[in-house]
Amino acid sequence: MPRWLHRLLVAIGVTVLVIAFALLGFQVWAGITARQTADAQATLDPFYLSPDALPGPPGTLIRTEPLDVEVPGATALRMLYVTERPDGSPAISGGMVFIPDTPAPAGGRGVVAWAHPTVGMADSCAPSRSANPLRDTEDWLTQMMELGWVVTATDYAGLGTAGPDLYLVGQAEARDVVNSVRALKQIPNADPGPRFAVWGHSQGGHSSLWTGQLAKDLAPDLDLVGVAAAAPAARLQDILQAQWQTDVAWVIGSEVAISWPEAQGAGVDPGQALSLDSVLTDAGMRDYRKIADICIGTISLVLDVGALGLEGQQFFATDPVNVPAWRTVVQEQSPIEPLLDTPVFIAQGTADEVVLPWPNAILQRDWCQAGVDLSMLWLGGVNHADAAVTAGPAAVQWIADRFADRPAPRTCDVPPPVPPVAPPQDAVGN
Protein backbone atom coordinates (compact mmCIF):
# COMPACT_ATOMS: atom_id res chain seq x y z
CA MET A 1 0.00 0.00 0.00
CA PRO A 2 1.42 3.41 -0.89
CA ARG A 3 2.51 5.46 2.12
CA TRP A 4 0.21 8.39 1.16
CA LEU A 5 -2.80 6.06 1.02
CA HIS A 6 -1.92 4.55 4.39
CA ARG A 7 -1.68 8.03 5.92
CA LEU A 8 -5.00 9.05 4.36
CA LEU A 9 -6.76 5.97 5.75
CA VAL A 10 -5.27 6.56 9.19
CA ALA A 11 -6.39 10.19 9.10
CA ILE A 12 -9.92 9.16 8.07
CA GLY A 13 -10.01 6.57 10.82
CA VAL A 14 -8.89 9.07 13.44
CA THR A 15 -11.50 11.57 12.23
CA VAL A 16 -14.27 8.96 12.45
CA LEU A 17 -13.19 8.04 15.97
CA VAL A 18 -13.12 11.68 17.04
CA ILE A 19 -16.62 12.24 15.66
CA ALA A 20 -17.89 9.05 17.30
CA PHE A 21 -16.45 10.00 20.68
CA ALA A 22 -17.82 13.54 20.32
CA LEU A 23 -21.31 12.20 19.59
CA LEU A 24 -21.08 9.78 22.49
CA GLY A 25 -19.90 12.60 24.73
CA PHE A 26 -22.80 14.79 23.63
CA GLN A 27 -25.30 12.01 24.29
CA VAL A 28 -23.88 11.48 27.79
CA TRP A 29 -23.91 15.23 28.44
CA ALA A 30 -27.47 15.56 27.13
CA GLY A 31 -28.61 12.69 29.33
CA ILE A 32 -27.01 14.21 32.42
CA THR A 33 -28.47 17.63 31.62
CA ALA A 34 -31.95 16.16 31.13
CA ARG A 35 -31.76 14.40 34.50
CA GLN A 36 -30.54 17.55 36.22
CA THR A 37 -33.37 19.56 34.65
CA ALA A 38 -35.94 16.95 35.69
CA ASP A 39 -34.62 16.95 39.27
CA ALA A 40 -34.66 20.75 39.44
CA GLN A 41 -38.21 20.92 38.09
CA ALA A 42 -39.42 18.28 40.54
CA THR A 43 -38.06 20.43 43.37
CA LEU A 44 -39.93 23.47 42.03
CA ASP A 45 -43.23 21.68 41.32
CA PRO A 46 -44.81 22.23 44.78
CA PHE A 47 -44.44 26.01 44.47
CA TYR A 48 -46.41 26.09 41.21
CA LEU A 49 -49.31 23.92 42.36
CA SER A 50 -52.66 25.65 42.35
CA PRO A 51 -54.41 25.71 45.75
CA ASP A 52 -57.66 23.78 46.06
CA ALA A 53 -59.52 27.07 46.40
CA LEU A 54 -58.19 30.23 44.80
CA PRO A 55 -57.62 33.00 47.39
CA GLY A 56 -59.26 35.77 45.40
CA PRO A 57 -59.99 37.41 42.04
CA PRO A 58 -57.50 38.01 39.22
CA GLY A 59 -54.45 39.81 40.54
CA THR A 60 -54.47 38.00 43.88
CA LEU A 61 -51.07 36.83 45.07
CA ILE A 62 -50.86 33.16 46.04
CA ARG A 63 -47.27 32.89 47.25
CA THR A 64 -43.70 34.10 46.78
CA GLU A 65 -40.24 32.75 47.54
CA PRO A 66 -36.69 34.00 46.97
CA LEU A 67 -35.35 33.60 43.44
CA ASP A 68 -31.75 32.43 43.34
CA VAL A 69 -30.31 35.11 41.05
CA GLU A 70 -28.07 38.11 41.60
CA VAL A 71 -29.53 41.48 40.64
CA PRO A 72 -27.42 44.32 42.06
CA GLY A 73 -29.34 46.56 44.42
CA ALA A 74 -32.49 44.46 44.36
CA THR A 75 -34.44 41.60 45.86
CA ALA A 76 -35.59 38.93 43.40
CA LEU A 77 -38.66 36.81 44.06
CA ARG A 78 -40.51 34.00 42.36
CA MET A 79 -44.27 34.48 42.53
CA LEU A 80 -47.54 32.66 41.85
CA TYR A 81 -50.72 34.64 41.28
CA VAL A 82 -54.30 34.43 40.05
CA THR A 83 -55.11 35.56 36.53
CA GLU A 84 -57.87 34.62 34.07
CA ARG A 85 -58.58 33.23 30.64
CA PRO A 86 -60.22 35.33 27.93
CA ASP A 87 -63.57 33.72 28.83
CA GLY A 88 -63.23 34.92 32.44
CA SER A 89 -62.41 31.54 33.93
CA PRO A 90 -59.64 31.62 36.58
CA ALA A 91 -56.08 30.59 35.81
CA ILE A 92 -52.74 30.53 37.61
CA SER A 93 -49.50 32.10 36.42
CA GLY A 94 -45.98 32.06 37.73
CA GLY A 95 -43.65 34.99 37.40
CA MET A 96 -40.83 37.01 38.88
CA VAL A 97 -40.60 40.26 40.81
CA PHE A 98 -37.56 42.52 41.18
CA ILE A 99 -37.76 45.07 44.01
CA PRO A 100 -35.14 47.83 44.50
CA ASP A 101 -33.44 47.94 47.88
CA THR A 102 -33.97 51.71 48.06
CA PRO A 103 -37.06 53.09 49.82
CA ALA A 104 -40.14 53.71 47.72
CA PRO A 105 -41.07 57.34 47.00
CA ALA A 106 -44.29 58.92 48.22
CA GLY A 107 -47.09 57.65 46.01
CA GLY A 108 -45.35 54.35 45.29
CA ARG A 109 -42.84 53.08 42.77
CA GLY A 110 -43.18 53.17 39.03
CA VAL A 111 -43.97 49.68 37.73
CA VAL A 112 -42.58 48.02 34.62
CA ALA A 113 -44.27 44.82 33.44
CA TRP A 114 -41.79 42.73 31.43
CA ALA A 115 -43.29 40.36 28.83
CA HIS A 116 -40.84 37.67 27.74
CA PRO A 117 -40.28 36.31 24.23
CA THR A 118 -40.95 32.80 22.90
CA VAL A 119 -39.18 30.32 25.18
CA GLY A 120 -40.77 26.90 24.53
CA MET A 121 -43.72 25.22 26.22
CA ALA A 122 -42.13 22.79 28.68
CA ASP A 123 -42.34 23.71 32.38
CA SER A 124 -38.57 24.18 32.49
CA CYS A 125 -38.83 26.86 29.79
CA ALA A 126 -40.88 29.24 31.97
CA PRO A 127 -38.49 32.05 32.92
CA SER A 128 -39.16 31.79 36.66
CA ARG A 129 -38.47 28.03 36.49
CA SER A 130 -35.60 28.10 34.02
CA ALA A 131 -31.87 27.72 34.58
CA ASN A 132 -31.43 31.30 33.29
CA PRO A 133 -34.25 33.47 34.71
CA LEU A 134 -32.48 36.70 33.73
CA ARG A 135 -32.17 35.87 30.05
CA ASP A 136 -32.96 38.87 27.84
CA THR A 137 -32.72 41.33 30.77
CA GLU A 138 -29.09 42.39 30.38
CA ASP A 139 -28.46 46.11 29.98
CA TRP A 140 -31.82 47.27 31.31
CA LEU A 141 -32.97 45.45 34.49
CA THR A 142 -30.18 46.84 36.68
CA GLN A 143 -30.88 50.34 35.34
CA MET A 144 -34.53 49.99 36.35
CA MET A 145 -33.48 48.96 39.86
CA GLU A 146 -31.23 52.01 40.11
CA LEU A 147 -34.17 54.19 39.08
CA GLY A 148 -36.27 52.71 41.88
CA TRP A 149 -38.86 50.97 39.73
CA VAL A 150 -40.36 47.62 40.63
CA VAL A 151 -40.36 45.09 37.77
CA THR A 152 -42.84 42.27 37.41
CA ALA A 153 -42.32 39.52 34.85
CA THR A 154 -45.15 37.12 34.07
CA ASP A 155 -44.46 33.59 32.83
CA TYR A 156 -47.96 33.62 31.22
CA ALA A 157 -50.65 31.26 32.52
CA GLY A 158 -50.12 27.66 31.45
CA LEU A 159 -46.36 27.99 31.02
CA GLY A 160 -44.95 26.23 34.07
CA THR A 161 -48.42 26.04 35.62
CA ALA A 162 -51.59 24.13 34.78
CA GLY A 163 -52.40 24.58 31.07
CA PRO A 164 -53.23 25.38 28.45
CA ASP A 165 -50.48 27.78 27.41
CA LEU A 166 -52.24 30.32 25.17
CA TYR A 167 -49.16 31.31 23.19
CA LEU A 168 -49.68 34.33 20.88
CA VAL A 169 -53.21 34.80 22.16
CA GLY A 170 -53.30 38.50 22.94
CA GLN A 171 -56.45 38.44 25.06
CA ALA A 172 -54.73 35.97 27.43
CA GLU A 173 -51.31 37.65 27.41
CA ALA A 174 -52.72 41.07 28.31
CA ARG A 175 -54.63 39.61 31.24
CA ASP A 176 -51.52 37.88 32.55
CA VAL A 177 -49.54 41.13 32.28
CA VAL A 178 -52.02 43.40 34.09
CA ASN A 179 -52.72 40.81 36.79
CA SER A 180 -49.00 40.47 37.47
CA VAL A 181 -49.01 44.23 38.12
CA ARG A 182 -51.99 43.94 40.45
CA ALA A 183 -50.29 41.16 42.42
CA LEU A 184 -47.48 43.54 43.41
CA LYS A 185 -49.74 45.31 45.89
CA GLN A 186 -49.65 42.25 48.16
CA ILE A 187 -45.86 41.80 48.18
CA PRO A 188 -44.03 43.38 51.13
CA ASN A 189 -41.69 46.26 50.17
CA ALA A 190 -42.84 46.25 46.53
CA ASP A 191 -44.83 49.46 47.18
CA PRO A 192 -46.15 49.90 43.63
CA GLY A 193 -47.88 53.04 42.53
CA PRO A 194 -50.82 52.92 40.10
CA ARG A 195 -48.71 53.88 37.05
CA PHE A 196 -47.05 51.22 34.91
CA ALA A 197 -45.33 50.69 31.60
CA VAL A 198 -45.21 47.45 29.68
CA TRP A 199 -42.00 46.31 27.94
CA GLY A 200 -41.68 43.13 25.90
CA HIS A 201 -39.66 41.34 23.24
CA SER A 202 -40.92 39.26 20.27
CA GLN A 203 -43.90 37.33 21.65
CA GLY A 204 -43.58 39.73 24.57
CA GLY A 205 -43.82 42.62 22.10
CA HIS A 206 -47.07 41.04 20.91
CA SER A 207 -48.14 40.95 24.58
CA SER A 208 -47.12 44.57 25.09
CA LEU A 209 -49.12 45.85 22.13
CA TRP A 210 -52.14 43.82 23.20
CA THR A 211 -51.79 45.19 26.73
CA GLY A 212 -51.88 48.65 25.19
CA GLN A 213 -55.12 47.81 23.45
CA LEU A 214 -56.89 46.16 26.39
CA ALA A 215 -55.45 47.60 29.62
CA LYS A 216 -58.07 50.31 30.13
CA ASP A 217 -60.90 47.78 29.95
CA LEU A 218 -59.09 45.04 31.88
CA ALA A 219 -57.56 47.22 34.58
CA PRO A 220 -59.27 50.61 35.02
CA ASP A 221 -57.57 50.76 38.43
CA LEU A 222 -54.16 51.02 36.75
CA ASP A 223 -52.65 53.81 34.64
CA LEU A 224 -50.68 52.58 31.61
CA VAL A 225 -48.19 55.35 30.77
CA GLY A 226 -46.43 53.70 27.84
CA VAL A 227 -46.03 50.61 25.66
CA ALA A 228 -42.51 49.52 24.70
CA ALA A 229 -41.64 46.60 22.45
CA ALA A 230 -38.54 45.12 20.84
CA ALA A 231 -39.09 43.22 17.57
CA PRO A 232 -42.79 42.77 18.31
CA ALA A 233 -44.69 40.03 16.51
CA ALA A 234 -47.38 42.44 15.35
CA ARG A 235 -48.31 41.89 11.71
CA LEU A 236 -48.69 38.13 12.03
CA GLN A 237 -50.13 37.67 8.55
CA ASP A 238 -47.07 39.24 6.94
CA ILE A 239 -44.71 37.24 9.16
CA LEU A 240 -46.44 33.92 8.48
CA GLN A 241 -46.69 34.48 4.74
CA ALA A 242 -42.95 35.19 4.63
CA GLN A 243 -41.85 32.46 7.05
CA TRP A 244 -44.16 29.47 6.55
CA GLN A 245 -41.63 27.65 4.36
CA THR A 246 -38.61 28.34 6.60
CA ASP A 247 -37.19 26.67 9.72
CA VAL A 248 -38.65 29.52 11.79
CA ALA A 249 -42.05 27.91 11.17
CA TRP A 250 -40.98 24.84 13.15
CA VAL A 251 -40.49 26.93 16.28
CA ILE A 252 -43.39 29.38 16.08
CA GLY A 253 -45.74 27.04 14.21
CA SER A 254 -45.34 24.19 16.69
CA GLU A 255 -46.51 26.39 19.54
CA VAL A 256 -49.48 27.97 17.75
CA ALA A 257 -50.51 24.48 16.59
CA ILE A 258 -51.08 23.77 20.28
CA SER A 259 -52.26 27.14 21.57
CA TRP A 260 -54.64 28.45 18.91
CA PRO A 261 -56.93 25.39 18.87
CA GLU A 262 -56.88 25.48 22.69
CA ALA A 263 -57.88 29.14 22.62
CA GLN A 264 -61.20 28.20 21.05
CA GLY A 265 -62.16 26.59 24.34
CA ALA A 266 -60.92 29.54 26.38
CA GLY A 267 -63.08 32.32 25.02
CA VAL A 268 -61.42 33.05 21.67
CA ASP A 269 -63.62 31.83 18.82
CA PRO A 270 -62.37 32.16 15.22
CA GLY A 271 -65.79 31.08 13.95
CA GLN A 272 -64.50 27.81 12.50
CA ALA A 273 -62.64 24.89 13.98
CA LEU A 274 -58.90 24.91 13.36
CA SER A 275 -57.79 21.75 11.62
CA LEU A 276 -54.09 20.95 11.93
CA ASP A 277 -54.04 18.43 9.12
CA SER A 278 -55.32 21.13 6.76
CA VAL A 279 -52.09 23.12 7.14
CA LEU A 280 -49.33 20.85 8.54
CA THR A 281 -47.09 18.41 6.72
CA ASP A 282 -46.88 14.79 7.88
CA ALA A 283 -43.60 15.67 9.60
CA GLY A 284 -45.25 18.66 11.24
CA MET A 285 -48.13 16.54 12.54
CA ARG A 286 -45.65 13.98 13.86
CA ASP A 287 -43.21 16.35 15.57
CA TYR A 288 -44.97 19.59 16.55
CA ARG A 289 -45.52 18.65 20.20
CA LYS A 290 -41.92 17.48 20.56
CA ILE A 291 -40.55 20.71 19.07
CA ALA A 292 -42.89 22.92 21.13
CA ASP A 293 -41.59 21.41 24.37
CA ILE A 294 -37.92 22.11 23.63
CA CYS A 295 -36.69 25.31 25.26
CA ILE A 296 -35.49 28.04 22.91
CA GLY A 297 -31.72 28.46 22.89
CA THR A 298 -30.91 24.84 23.70
CA ILE A 299 -28.63 22.64 21.61
CA SER A 300 -31.40 20.06 21.38
CA LEU A 301 -33.70 22.52 19.58
CA VAL A 302 -30.99 23.49 17.13
CA LEU A 303 -30.22 19.85 16.34
CA ASP A 304 -33.84 18.74 16.02
CA VAL A 305 -35.01 21.63 13.85
CA GLY A 306 -31.78 21.59 11.87
CA ALA A 307 -32.07 17.88 11.18
CA LEU A 308 -35.62 18.30 9.94
CA GLY A 309 -34.53 21.17 7.72
CA LEU A 310 -31.62 19.19 6.31
CA GLU A 311 -34.03 16.43 5.38
CA GLY A 312 -35.98 18.99 3.36
CA GLN A 313 -39.07 18.72 5.52
CA GLN A 314 -41.30 21.73 6.08
CA PHE A 315 -43.61 22.33 9.00
CA PHE A 316 -46.50 23.85 7.06
CA ALA A 317 -47.81 22.09 3.97
CA THR A 318 -49.38 25.34 2.78
CA ASP A 319 -49.46 28.97 3.78
CA PRO A 320 -51.93 28.91 6.72
CA VAL A 321 -53.11 32.38 5.77
CA ASN A 322 -54.70 30.80 2.70
CA VAL A 323 -56.91 28.59 4.92
CA PRO A 324 -59.97 30.64 6.03
CA ALA A 325 -60.15 29.51 9.67
CA TRP A 326 -56.43 30.03 10.17
CA ARG A 327 -56.49 33.38 8.39
CA THR A 328 -59.23 34.55 10.77
CA VAL A 329 -57.16 33.66 13.84
CA VAL A 330 -54.02 35.24 12.38
CA GLN A 331 -55.87 38.47 11.72
CA GLU A 332 -57.63 38.50 15.10
CA GLN A 333 -54.38 37.91 16.98
CA SER A 334 -52.48 40.68 15.20
CA PRO A 335 -52.24 43.74 17.51
CA ILE A 336 -52.25 46.24 14.66
CA GLU A 337 -55.03 48.57 15.80
CA PRO A 338 -53.28 51.96 16.22
CA LEU A 339 -52.68 52.86 19.88
CA LEU A 340 -53.96 56.44 19.86
CA ASP A 341 -54.24 56.96 23.63
CA THR A 342 -50.86 55.61 24.79
CA PRO A 343 -47.31 56.53 23.69
CA VAL A 344 -45.47 53.68 21.96
CA PHE A 345 -41.77 52.80 21.63
CA ILE A 346 -40.76 50.10 19.13
CA ALA A 347 -37.22 48.86 18.47
CA GLN A 348 -36.52 46.69 15.44
CA GLY A 349 -33.28 45.18 14.16
CA THR A 350 -32.55 45.37 10.45
CA ALA A 351 -30.86 41.93 10.54
CA ASP A 352 -33.81 40.19 12.19
CA GLU A 353 -34.61 36.91 10.41
CA VAL A 354 -37.51 35.91 12.71
CA VAL A 355 -39.69 38.99 13.09
CA LEU A 356 -38.67 40.44 9.76
CA PRO A 357 -38.04 44.20 9.62
CA TRP A 358 -40.33 45.11 6.72
CA PRO A 359 -43.66 44.22 8.44
CA ASN A 360 -42.75 46.56 11.32
CA ALA A 361 -41.77 49.21 8.76
CA ILE A 362 -45.35 48.89 7.48
CA LEU A 363 -46.58 49.19 11.08
CA GLN A 364 -44.53 52.37 11.50
CA ARG A 365 -45.98 53.86 8.31
CA ASP A 366 -49.58 52.96 9.20
CA TRP A 367 -49.41 54.07 12.84
CA CYS A 368 -47.70 57.33 11.97
CA GLN A 369 -50.39 58.08 9.42
CA ALA A 370 -53.02 57.31 12.08
CA GLY A 371 -51.47 59.78 14.53
CA VAL A 372 -49.88 57.41 17.05
CA ASP A 373 -47.24 58.93 19.35
CA LEU A 374 -44.67 56.45 18.04
CA SER A 375 -40.95 56.52 18.76
CA MET A 376 -39.30 54.05 16.39
CA LEU A 377 -35.72 52.91 17.02
CA TRP A 378 -34.11 51.05 14.13
CA LEU A 379 -31.14 48.91 15.14
CA GLY A 380 -28.72 48.54 12.25
CA GLY A 381 -27.34 45.02 11.87
CA VAL A 382 -29.05 43.71 15.03
CA ASN A 383 -30.63 40.26 14.92
CA HIS A 384 -33.76 38.99 16.65
CA ALA A 385 -32.14 37.52 19.74
CA ASP A 386 -30.27 40.73 20.58
CA ALA A 387 -33.08 43.23 20.02
CA ALA A 388 -34.18 43.68 23.65
CA VAL A 389 -30.74 43.88 25.23
CA THR A 390 -29.52 46.26 22.52
CA ALA A 391 -32.56 48.51 22.77
CA GLY A 392 -32.87 48.14 26.55
CA PRO A 393 -31.07 51.35 27.61
CA ALA A 394 -33.09 53.40 25.11
CA ALA A 395 -36.30 51.77 26.35
CA VAL A 396 -35.36 52.64 29.94
CA GLN A 397 -34.84 56.30 29.02
CA TRP A 398 -38.12 56.37 27.09
CA ILE A 399 -40.03 54.82 30.03
CA ALA A 400 -38.37 57.24 32.47
CA ASP A 401 -39.70 60.12 30.38
CA ARG A 402 -43.21 58.67 30.55
CA PHE A 403 -43.06 58.40 34.35
CA ALA A 404 -41.78 62.00 34.43
CA ASP A 405 -44.72 63.18 32.27
CA ARG A 406 -42.43 64.57 29.58
CA PRO A 407 -43.97 65.00 26.11
CA ALA A 408 -43.89 61.75 24.13
CA PRO A 409 -41.58 61.98 21.11
CA ARG A 410 -42.63 61.08 17.59
CA THR A 411 -40.09 59.90 15.04
CA CYS A 412 -42.54 59.75 12.18
CA ASP A 413 -40.59 62.27 10.14
CA VAL A 414 -37.74 59.73 9.88
CA PRO A 415 -38.45 56.99 7.32
CA PRO A 416 -37.56 53.37 8.12
CA PRO A 417 -34.26 52.06 6.73
CA VAL A 418 -36.10 49.21 5.02
CA PRO A 419 -38.97 49.65 2.54
CA PRO A 420 -42.42 49.28 4.15
CA VAL A 421 -43.44 46.66 1.64
CA ALA A 422 -43.13 42.91 1.19
CA PRO A 423 -40.10 41.87 -0.87
CA PRO A 424 -40.64 40.12 -4.21
CA GLN A 425 -42.13 36.64 -3.85
CA ASP A 426 -38.98 34.92 -5.13
CA ALA A 427 -37.05 36.52 -2.22
CA VAL A 428 -39.49 35.46 0.50
CA GLY A 429 -38.61 32.31 2.38
CA ASN A 430 -35.14 32.07 0.83
Q: What are phi and psi of 228, to 5 degrees?
A: -125, 140
Query: Residue 199: enclosing H or E segment and its boundaries?
Result: strand 192-201
Higher model confidence: residue 26 or residue 337? 337
Antiparallel, parallel or unpaired: β 90-100 and 150-154:
antiparallel
Rounded to the nearest 10°, the torsion over CA 301, 307, 309, 312 is -160
- Architecture of the 61-235+334-427 domain: 3-Layer(aba) Sandwich (3.40)
Summarised one tens digit per residue, pLDDT across range 198-216 is 999 999 999 999 999 999 9
Please give the Cα distance from 345 to 409 (Å, whole number).
9
pLDDT tens digits for 215-247? 999 999 999 999 999 999 999 999 999 999 998
Domain ranges of the chain: 1-48, 61-235+334-427, 237-331
Three-state secondary-structure class, residue 97: strand
Q: What is the pLDDT of residues 93-137, one digit of tens each?
A: 999 999 999 999 999 999 999 999 999 999 999 999 999 999 999
Amino acid at 369: Q
Examine the pLDDT at 378 and tell me if it is beyond 70: yes
Q: How confident is the model at residue 2 (pLDDT cuts 50, 70, 90)?
A: low
pLDDT value, residue 39: 84
